[in-house]
Structure 1
Amino acid sequence: MTRIRSVEAIPVRLARDLDEATGTAGSPSVLKSGEADYRWSASVPAIYSRHFETALVKVTLDNGLTGWGEAQAPLAPQVACAIVDRLLAPLLVGVEFQPEPEHIEKTWHNLYGSMRVRGQTGGFMLDAISGVDLALWDLAGRMRQQPVSGIIAGSLAKTRVSAYLSGLPSGSFADRCRFALDYQAQGFGCFKVFHEAAEGELFQLLDELHDALGASAQLAVDALWRLEESNAAAFGRQLDRRNAVWLECPFMPEEAEAHVRLADEIQTPLAAGESFRTRNEIAPLLHALRFVQPDLGRTGITEGLRIAAMAASANAAVLPHVSIALGPQIAAAIHFAAALENAPLLEFNPSVCRMANLFLESPLRVEDAHWQVPAGPGLGIQVKEAELRAAIRW
């Protein structure tokens, strides 16, 4: 009988070039000036970190086998880590571990139920549970000598997943077009831009990208929750004229009815999901979405699969969200997408991938605009733990 020996959470902060990162994951817009680590965006109703922050979870069995997970924690990863250390680890240490999806699902429900009557059914609590969940799936694959995608989908699992380029680093329109052209030359056909400035600038950027990339290029827009319902339809019709492939996060996550009304008024499909941890949270606006974007660092694989099944029943595709993340979270998203029939694309941010690969024995690879599914057991990655710990700066 194999039991869980230890559960450890590691809050991570890594130095990064903020200028290079601006316009991409974790810093989609220019931040307001100041010395604080966390700053307001100059245009988006959210705060962001100057650094690269995340929360890793390491689960070790009494046979010495280790699994790695990761919570989506781009700010204050100590919060999710404290939940793992103080609340979740005591519930897991000494418990028998079975490498079966049904066992992991039961564990997810036990952890979810531990604070449910106190209203902790979302937010940081679920981020922490998700970090543990990814580690348990990694362990299951390692014990079974199977990749996670194979456990989920068997022989139907894909060996590669189409990637879309997420974000264009800040600079002139010409600079951004050159950046996109470089990736088009590598085989990329879909590009996402952030609505991080004035509307006119966004539409001009889309027009210049279309001119540079050609009519076959697919352009998506992440509105960063900025739209007001009074002008959202007019904004959406501008995207209709430009044949945008989707409009992401038009309104605040809790404004479900606004999403539903906008979906009825414009042709451009709506996409959302990164802010939601459970199928219960996303259910009110599901029928407004053509693309559902669960973040595995917030849903875990277990709840992510249930969200994907719900999306399939609504004829929606799944585009897993990948933002600030290291190897465990990115690898989990790759395996997740590889296992799903209704997951045609996976997000790719070059600077995030480069950071993740600094701390992996073998890099995660994107070739010919496709994520290559790691072939090893579990998530198929080996974390360079000593190098990572040495690089953390608090």
Structure 2
Amino acid sequence: MATPTIRQIRAYTVRGGGGDYHDQSGAHWIDDHVSTPMAKYPNYRASRRSFGINVLGSLVVEVEASDGTVGFAVTTGGEPAAWIVENHLARFIEGAKVTDIELMWDQMYNATLYYGRKGLVINTISGVDLALWDLLGKVRQEPVFHLLGGAVRDELQFYATGARPDLAKEMGFIGGKMALHHGPAEGEEGLRKNLEILTDMRAKVGPDFWLMQDCWMSLDVNYATKFATRAWHEAGLKWIEEALSPDDYWGYSELRRNLPRGMLCTTGEHEATRWGFRLLLDMNCCDIIQPDVGWCGGVTELIKISALADAHGVLVVPHGSSVYSYHFVITRHNSPFAEFLMMHPVPDQVVPMFTPLLLEEPVPTKGRLKLPETPGFGVRLNPECKLHRPYTH
């Protein structure tokens, strides 16, 4: 049988959750006084939506093969990303064999170097890449994790990110990560409040449950060092995550040296490509890297990032991204567990991360998940979510 080629690529936008999980309405823990780089401005401190964290919305990429098979993926990017797909990247996808994923990635990346390299453009390339892996899995009638070499363990185990690690413990997760609420601009009072929240949660979960703190790029080296040191001694904090600007490799290297022995420094959620992660690894910036497969370059690039990390003795625990990271983590020895974003507003129950956009999205039970053998990434688009195709080619 001849290998199918790609007949068409299409890019859609959709609002309300989905790939852009910050695109929430109403009260939600993910938007409740979380420390950010904008928190130094009082007007933008209480809500991340106030400074526009949800302005892009979700990007949905569909790729249709010559045999009629359709693959798709979702990520963040919205209308600007849809324009890039339809007006620039389509030429490298349409007409290519469904197996030529490495070639398509290289052409997309090099053709956008002059305005890309990171951020929105790599998000967009990631969405296309994930759709191509979904398509290949469906053409071959295999789950993506089979294409990546097969599972190295029977099931995934998870820690939970949300506002209630105590509830996460009851649900069977191995740990809980909270968002930091108060940044350096709120001074000693903010630092005290941060430590009070953490020590209160430690009292609720007991001494052995993992507690981690997500600082979302909002601290400086001195504040991060002071907070981490006290958090280690007062609350047994397991790791401090993304404490600094993703461009401050020198600061991360210093912070890691400053941390109490035994505490982990983690980052990489907003890093991209093997070259960005090479800097983190070569400069000994962290103990765990956390690439988001929907933002770092897709599965094709995550394979290379993971190999680099393995050679440096650094773990890879991808940021969120649901099935797109699950299919990767299950195939890698240096990815021993995964993150689950608790997208329920409280959160007091487990709901699919990309709700309501994806159907049949698997969720962990008692902190564990056995991946189904469904072709591709094993999910479908919810027909009740109205897609908009703002551009055509």
- TM-score range for the pair, normalised by the shorter chain length: 0.7 to 0.9
Indicate the residue corresponding to 1:326 in structure 2.
none
Preserved CA contact (<8 Å) 1:274 1:321 = yes
- How large is the Cα RMSD of the aligned pairs? 2.6
Counterpart of 1:181 (choices 161, 166, 174) is 166
Deviates more, 1:369-378 or 1:334-343: 369-378
Is 2:279 aligned against 1:284? yes
Specify the code of the residue in structure 2 equivalent to 1:188.
F
Indicate the residue corresponding to 2:92 in structure 1.
91
Preserved CA contact (<8 Å) 2:16 2:25 = no
Is 2:11 aligned against 1:9? yes
Change (3 A) 1:208 1:127: same
User: What displacement does 1:89 show?
Assistant: 1.1
Counterpart of 1:295 (choices 284, 292, 317) is 292
What per-residue deviation string (whole Å, max 9, x for no partner) do you get for residues 251-280 of structure 1?
101110010011111122111111112111
Cα distance in 2 for residues equivalent to 1:45 and 1:254? 23
Indicate the residue corresponding to 1:146 in structure 2.
142
User: What displacement does 1:232 show?
Assistant: 2.8
What per-residue deviation string (whole Å, max 9, x for no partner) do you get for residues 104-140 of structure 1?
1221111111122x24222211111110100111111
If the length of structure 1 is used for normalisation, what is the TM-score? 0.83
- Give the match's secondary structure for 2:343: helix
Give aligned-pair identity as a percent.
24
Indicate the residue corresponding to 1:325 in structure 2.
none
Is 2:178 aligned against 1:193? yes
Change (3 A) 1:90 1:294: same
Indicate the residue corresponding to 1:133 in structure 2.
129
Preserved CA contact (<8 Å) 1:296 1:304 = yes
Counterpart of 1:341 (choices 325, 333, 341) is 333
Indicate the residue corresponding to 1:29 in structure 2.
34
Number of aligned pairs? Answer: 357
- Give the match's secondary structure for 2:211: strand
Cα distance in 1 for residues equivalent to 2:97 and 2:257? 50
Counterpart of 1:236 (choices 228, 231, 240) is 228
User: What displacement does 1:284 show?
Assistant: 1.9
Deviates more, 1:345-354 or 1:277-286: 345-354
- Give the match's secondary structure for 2:384: helix
Change (3 A) 1:28 1:298: farther
Q: Which runs of 4+ in 1 moved over 6 A?
A: 43-46
What per-residue deviation string (whole Å, max 9, x for no partner) do you get for residues 64-89 of structure 1?
1011122333xxx1111111111011
Cα distance in 2 for residues equivalent to 1:46 and 1:358? 23
Preserved CA contact (<8 Å) 1:311 1:318 = yes
Any unmatched runs of 5+ in structure 2?
Answer: 18-22, 37-42, 183-189, 345-350
Change (3 A) 1:391 1:49: farther
Matches within 5 A, 1:163-178: 163-168=158-163
Preserved CA contact (<8 Å) 1:44 1:226 = no
Indicate the residue corresponding to 1:314 in structure 2.
312
Cα distance in 1 for residues equivalent to 2:191 and 2:49? 16
Cα distance in 2 for residues equivalent to 1:136 and 1:50? 26
Change (3 A) 1:350 1:52: farther
Indicate the residue corresponding to 1:204 in structure 2.
196
Any unmatched runs of 5+ in structure 1?
Answer: 32-38, 169-178, 323-328
Change (3 A) 1:355 1:289: closer
Deviates more, 1:125-134 or 1:362-371: 362-371
Specify the code of the residue in structure 2 equivalent to 1:302.
T
Is 2:251 aligned against 1:258? yes
